[in-house]
Structure 1
Amino acid sequence: MELVRKALAQGLFRDQDTAVILYDLDRLAANFAALAAAFPSRTRHAFAVKACPLPPILQLLAGLGAGAEAASLPEIHLALAAGFDPSRIVFDSPAKTGEELRLALKLGLFINADNLDELARIDALATGLGVVPRVGLRINPQAGLGRIKATSVAGRYSKFGVPMSARDDIRDAFARYPWLGGLHVHVGSQGCPLELLVAGAGTVFDLAREIEQEQGPDRLAVFDLGGGLPAAYRDGDTPPTPADYATALAVRCPGLLDGPLALVTEFGRMLAAPCAVAASRVEYVKRQPGHRTAVVHLGADLFVRECYNPKAWPHRTRLLDSGGQAKQGRPGLWHLAGPLCFSGDFPVRQARLPAIAPGDIVVIEDVGAYTLSMWSRYNSRQMPRVLGFGQGRFSVLREREEPQDVVRFWLGSGGAV
């Protein structure tokens, strides 16, 4: 909350700003340092661009030595523009086009193929380009689902990867394509306990051992662990740390952390989510029998998952007065209603907060990942100003959109009214 107060005092949370998002850049750097310390130095920690595609955030992580995990053609370009060396970019997508694969091969990105047909496509493209591809194969370990089904990808069926039940086809692919040198596993994001993450990695590591026994000890070069470590969204949440994960992996997968395979991780949420808050001015307060509602300027535009699935995606809230001081008083239950024109637009229901008045500032915590990157254009609301605070000073990471910016978005490139 101190960052909100400082931003107000320095005139960075301006009168025209109905809302702002504030990133603690020092905390982000500390989170990355903790991740790097937990794994061997040969590990490439590829930040999931989808979690937070803000170029200054990506630039900061590139400067810290991170890699980037891109899941689309624009995410590749975002990573390149942020300064990531192509050799440190991992390209994941279940729907890679020939154009996208051709670019990835020319640049020398590491490609995680999602299916066996994609391997055949890569082989033909690489032959035509005269390059040796750097490729891993995504495996669905079929280890089970986490608490949130929509973000769990390791059930008996998944849209992602080659199922472990096709083990013979997987081994045949490694025999057919000598350039295929890696395995990739990911079981889900948020709601997946440590035991499930380790079980998924362990199943695919066992497969790696089988391939090496069958085709030679040097057959594999890369093991991509994916992401999945959760963030704490409730006061009582105690998510496992990167060190906890590494310790559990060492027990389940002896030889993985201290062996010759190059390791890759693809974390996003655990790195960035705790590093930002969203602060919105309260525009109106409504009282009806049994309900108290504060109308704020951020709703399902920023909090898409939270509004459509509030039980799975809670957020802690705080209340400040217009000057940025914490409001005191006996807490009551308040609905925080967003500005969009549909009845489910409540980023938080039944928040326990002191009495709210127009002009107060509601602060919603842990919004650093999978919020702004999922911004909805419904009602054509303006994206808020995004601020960063690091090494003792503020910077503007992204300026607040003006109405003409939204008009240009809908016109598209080359459009005119």
Structure 2
Amino acid sequence: MIRKQQIIQTAIKANIIDSNLSAIGIMDFDGLQKTVSDAYAAFPNNFFHTFAVKANALVEVLSALRKYGMGAEVASPGELLLAKNAGYDNESIIFDSPAKTLNDLRTCIENDISLNIDNLQELARIDQLMQEFPNTKSVIGFRINPQIGGGAISSTSTATATSKFGYPLADGNNKQELINIYQQRPWLTSLHTHTGSQGCALELMAKGIGVITELAEEINNQVGQQQIKRLDIGGGLPVNFSSEEVKPSFADYAQVLKENVPLLFTDKYQVKTEFGRAIAAKNGVIITRVEYTKNSGGRHIATTHAGAQIFTRTAFLPKSWPIRVTGYNAKGIEKTAETDEIIATDVAGPCCFAGDLICVDQQLPKLNPNDYVMAHDTGGYYFSNHFDYNSLPRVGVFSVTGKDDNLNISCIRKADSFEDVASKM
């Protein structure tokens, strides 16, 4: 918490957050680099880690992650363009989407960008493109749905019997049909699954990865050689939003995989991951100023400038995506039980609907106008994924590097002032 207090105090002293720019997102690039290092340290050299661009689609963040050694997993043409703008070469990018157009597929195959096939209709399109580009270096494989069940959050569970993602392996004669498909197409050299996400146990994730590892072995045995060389085991490592503790860690995940799928650790396969939230979340915070406060029905309400337009998941699914918040006074000093009365508090955003709340009925030190609220663990899927950036004139994003009193805060994305917006009207 000490570093976060130094960050907010530096932002206040530098007038980065003020009466105009009343909400900011900050990415700790030093923390980001350490997280990537932790990921690589937890796994052997046959693992290669990519970052799910959708988790934080800011070019400066993506560029830093590239420098730290990560590839890019993209799920749309826009994300592909962002990855290219961040300097990623084609060989370090993998394209995942259940709705790739023919042009999307052609772009990948023509430019040696790897991809995962979602369904048989997509396979038919790729069959045609492979005749057009027989020498492509794209690593192509199927995304497999092992249909092993969901986790605690149904909307982020991707391995249920009826999931929209991937080829349903357990339906009918699908497994043998898939083996036949691979036998007939030597250019299919990968298998992919994304079993877990937030709310999924590590054992569930390992179970799904075990399924595709066994399938790869079976396909290779029937082909008579190692046709499948890559296993893409997806991302989805859960993040602890309840405290500063990083749990599960990458080392925890590696240990579960090693116990359940030891073949991954033998160099037989290149193993690719697609971590997103686990890389970005704990390295980002959102700081917003309290504009007004009032009491209503015995509840203290603090109205801020950061709500559903930034905390979209939290506003619409508060039980699944709770956010931890800390209050600071106007000088950036943390508010505690020793300094302020603890009262039941709603922290609200600026949007005009009742569910626009960061937190509800939490026991917090009393917030006053011109205080600040820090929302923790928001580096993934929050300040880089708004409904529409043009509707957010006062939200800027900054990076922070350095230690102690030598912090350097730099603008990643400029926020328009009200005057800027008015001039465009």
TM range (shorter): over 0.9
Deviates more, 1:323-332 or 1:78-87: 323-332
Correspondence for 1:58: 62
Correspondence for 1:223: 231
Q: Tell me how far 1:407 sits from its aligned partner.
A: 8.5
Correspondence for 2:374: 363
Matches within 5 A, 1:21-36: 21-36=25-40
Residue 9 of structure 1 pairs with residue 7 of structure 2: no
Identical residues among aligned pairs (%): 38
Q: Tell me how far 1:12 sits from its aligned partner.
A: 2.3
Correspondence for 1:85: 89
Q: Give the secondary structure class of the aligned counterpart of 2:310.
A: coil
Give the whole-Å Cα distance in 1 for the aligned partners of 2:395 and 2:383.
9
Residue 339 of structure 1 pairs with residue 350 of structure 2: yes
Structure 2: which 5+ residue stretches go unaligned? none
Residue 112 of structure 1 pairs with residue 116 of structure 2: yes
Counterpart among 382, 393, 414 of residue 408 in structure 2:
393
8 A contact 1:19–1:279 mirrored in 2: yes
Correspondence for 1:241: 249
Residue 305 of structure 1 pairs with residue 305 of structure 2: no
Correspondence for 2:395: 384
Residue 124 of structure 1 pairs with residue 135 of structure 2: no
- TM-score, normalised via structure 2 length: 0.92
Residue-pair matches, total: 410
Residue 208 of structure 1 pairs with residue 223 of structure 2: no
Residue 142 of structure 1 pairs with residue 157 of structure 2: no
8 A contact 1:4–1:22 mirrored in 2: no
The code of the aligned residue for 2:195 comes to V
* Per-residue CA distance 1:103-124 (angstroms, 9 max, x = gap): 1112211111111221221121
Over 3 Å counting, the alpha-carbon distance change for 1:46 and 1:379 in structure 2 is: closer
Correspondence for 1:413: none
Give the whole-Å Cα distance in 1 for the aligned partners of 2:360 and 2:297.
16
Over 3 Å counting, the alpha-carbon distance change for 1:119 and 1:405 in structure 2 is: farther
Correspondence for 2:270: 262
Give the whole-Å Cα distance in 1 for the aligned partners of 2:408 and 2:418.
29
Correspondence for 1:412: none
Residue 174 of structure 1 pairs with residue 182 of structure 2: yes
Over 3 Å counting, the alpha-carbon distance change for 1:8 and 1:41 in structure 2 is: same
Give the whole-Å Cα distance in 1 for the aligned partners of 2:416 and 2:74.
25
The code of the aligned residue for 2:87 comes to G
Q: Tell me how far 1:378 sits from its aligned partner.
A: 9.8
Matches within 5 A, 1:155-170: 155-165=160-170, 166-170=174-178
Cα RMSD over matched residues? 1.9
Structure 1: which 5+ residue stretches go unaligned? 409-415
Q: Tell me how far 1:289 sits from its aligned partner.
A: 2.6
Give the whole-Å Cα distance in 2 for the aligned partners of 1:88 and 1:49.
13
Counterpart among 257, 261, 267 of residue 253 in structure 1:
261
Give the whole-Å Cα distance in 1 for the aligned partners of 2:394 and 2:260.
44
Counterpart among 177, 196, 202 of residue 204 in structure 2:
196
Which aligned runs of 4 or more in structure 1 are off by greater than 6 angstroms?
Answer: 404-408
Over 3 Å counting, the alpha-carbon distance change for 1:332 and 1:194 in structure 2 is: same
The code of the aligned residue for 2:386 comes to W
Give the whole-Å Cα distance in 2 for the aligned partners of 1:158 and 1:383.
38
Q: Give the secondary structure class of the aligned counterpart of 1:244.
A: helix
Q: Tell me how far 1:254 sits from its aligned partner.
A: 2.2
Counterpart among 286, 308, 313 of residue 278 in structure 1:
286
Correspondence for 1:350: 361
Give the whole-Å Cα distance in 2 for the aligned partners of 1:366 and 1:254.
32
Give the whole-Å Cα distance in 2 for the aligned partners of 1:80 and 1:289.
52
8 A contact 2:56–2:385 mirrored in 1: no
The code of the aligned residue for 1:377 comes to D
Q: Tell me how far 1:358 sits from its aligned partner.
A: 0.7
8 A contact 2:20–2:394 mirrored in 1: no
Over 3 Å counting, the alpha-carbon distance change for 1:331 and 1:379 in structure 2 is: farther
Give the whole-Å Cα distance in 1 for the aligned partners of 2:384 and 2:420.
17
Over 3 Å counting, the alpha-carbon distance change for 1:264 and 1:406 in structure 2 is: farther
Give the whole-Å Cα distance in 2 for the aligned partners of 1:257 and 1:250.
7
Correspondence for 1:375: 386
